[in-house]
Every structure is written in structure tokens, then in C-alpha cells.
Amino acid sequence: MLSKAGQGDERAFNTLVLRHSSFVHTIALRFTQNAADADEITQSVFWTLWRHAARWSRERARLRTWLYRVTVNRCIDHGRGKGRWRRLFRGGSPDVEPADPAPTAEARHGAKDDLSRVQAALLTLAPRQRMALFLVAYEGLSGADAAEAMGTSPGAVEQLLARARKRLRELTEGETT
Amino acid sequence: MNDGDQTDPKIKAAFDAVHPDPDAPARTVAALVRRRSKDLLVPAWWTAGAGLAGFALAYFGQGAEMEATSAIADGTALLFGGLQ
């Protein structure tokens, strides 16, 4: 299928998209908690695949592994891009890694229960911190596997996790009375 | 990495709170088809535009004696030369 797509066969490529895009979309949706952002990330991942399909058919690398890694990094970039726009309009230090500025309506109006409080807190984390947490705490990846997916070192993932958990504790415990 | 043992179930539940969208694959295919057709259309418009510009130059400019067909070919070649 991939080799056909690599030769420019659009129907073969569409079949590939139908087969694998749920997996990509679900990661993006869980990470961004926003359907429109998840759509955008999914399209961008498969557009890249379409552009590189010819090379893929020759290398025969594992498609899922590649999709996973590209999705993880697109999610992070997407969060960073949103942060950049926010800094541009509101001002702020360029040294601070931006958090996703698009909390859900629920998050904006004040979290009422434990779950929505954690959800809201997750969205305020910097994209790399949130991704490290997603990969390790949700997907169950080891630190080394998470590091590989994010293109960083296991030590960096540990640091991201520690900072993310500390920040989450501050945010969720600070709101309890 | 183990200081999150107590909070991890809550984190898992929070990530899990959004549900997969069964319509997403079809939506992705449709969006990519639109994007591919736009991708094909853009060079076609540029080619047509360059051809017209070449024709106009030849017709109204100093090279009014040039044949229109060669002007179109020149315009197109110019464009592709420039793009590369």
C-alpha cells in the first residue's frame, strides 16, 4: 500500500490515511483536548507522509513508529506555535517555554471537580512537559522510549516530568480548600 | 520518575476524558484531497499567468513583432527558470 502511495497512487494513500489516521488523531486530541487542533495536526502529519511516500516505499521502515514520532513532535510544535502568538500579542519573555493558551471552556470557567481541575491544569503546562507526562503517565512508555519519541535524552524527559508534576501539584492543590 | 504514582491515575483519567472521533479519518482524507488539488492548481495558475504576462509584454512592449506563441513559451520558461 505504501509503495503504491509512493508512486503517487492517491487511492492507495487515502486507504492508508483511513487505516492510520484514527491513531494519530486520538493522540493529538488527547494532547490538545481540542478537536480542531487535532484535525490540523493529523492533516499535517499525513501531508508530510504524502510528500515522503516515495522515499518510504524504498526504505520500508515501520510506518507506525514514524507516525508516532512525527505526531508527538507536531503536537509539541503546535503548542509552541500557539504560545508564540500569545506572547506576540500579550508580551512576555521569549525564554520561557510557552504553555498551551487554549484551555477548554470548562477550564476557563473554573474547574468544579477533580477531573476537570487536572484537565485544566494539564493545558497550562508547557507543551514538552505535557507531552512527557502524556507519554509516560498515559501511554505507559519508559523514560527512554519517551525520550526517543520526543527526540531528546532520557535525562531531559525526567526533568520535564518532575517539573510537570510539581506544577500540576501546585495548580491542583492550590485550588482545594 | 516515580513521584507521580499517586497523581498518575488522575492524569490518565484527564487525558482519557476526550473520546476518539470516528469521523476523523474521513475528514482527514477529504482535507488532504482538497490540499492536493490546491497544490496542483497553484503551478497551473502561475504558468497561465506567466504566459499571459509574456504575451502582454510581446504585444504591447518593444517586442510587438514577436509571435504570441513564442512569447508564451518564453514567459513560461522564465517562470520555471526563476522557480528553480
CA distance A9 to A88: 42
Q: What percent of chain A has pLDDT over 70?
A: 77
Query: Is B18 in Cβ contact with A122 (below 8 Å)?
Result: no
A53 falls in which pLDDT band (50, 70, 90)?
confident
The single-letter DSSP state of residue A99 is: P
pLDDT at A93 exceeding the cut of 50: no
Find chain B residues with C-beta within 8 A of A9's C-beta: none
Mean per-residue pLDDT of chain B: 74
Q: Count chain A–chain B contacts defined by CB atoms under 8 A.
A: 96
Candidates B3, B10, B26; nearest CB to A118? B10
CA distance B12 to B2: 15
pLDDT at A113: 79
Q: State which residue of chain B sits closest to A132, comparing Cα positions.
A: B1
CA distance A77 to A60: 27
For the full predicted model, state whether its pTM sits above 0.90.
no
Q: Mean pLDDT throughout B46-64?
A: 70
Query: Is B27 in Cβ contact with A35 (below 8 Å)?
Result: no
pLDDT tens-digit profile of A115-163? Answer: 888 999 999 999 999 999 999 999 999 999 999 999 999 999 999 999 9
CA distance A49 to A35: 21
First to last CA, chain B: 51
Q: Is A91 in contact with A45 (CB distance < 8 Å)?
A: no
Q: State which residue of chain A sits closest to B16, comparing Cα positions.
A: A30
Find chain B residues with C-beta within 8 A of A29's C-beta: 18, 20-21, 24
Candidates B3, B25, B36; nearest CB to A165? B3
Torsion, Cα A36 A77 A154 A122, to 10 degrees, reads -40
CA distance A35 to A92: 28
pLDDT at A126: 94
pLDDT at A152: 95
Phi-psi region of A34 (alpha: psi -120 to 50; beta: other; left: phi over 0): beta
Q: Where are the alpha helices (DSSP H) in A60-142?
A: 63-90, 105-108, 114-124, 127-133
Which three cell numbers, joined as nine digits, stand for A146? 519517551
Contacts of A51 (CB under 8 A, 6+ apart): none
Interface test with A, best of B5, B12, B15, B16 (most A CBs within 10 A): B15
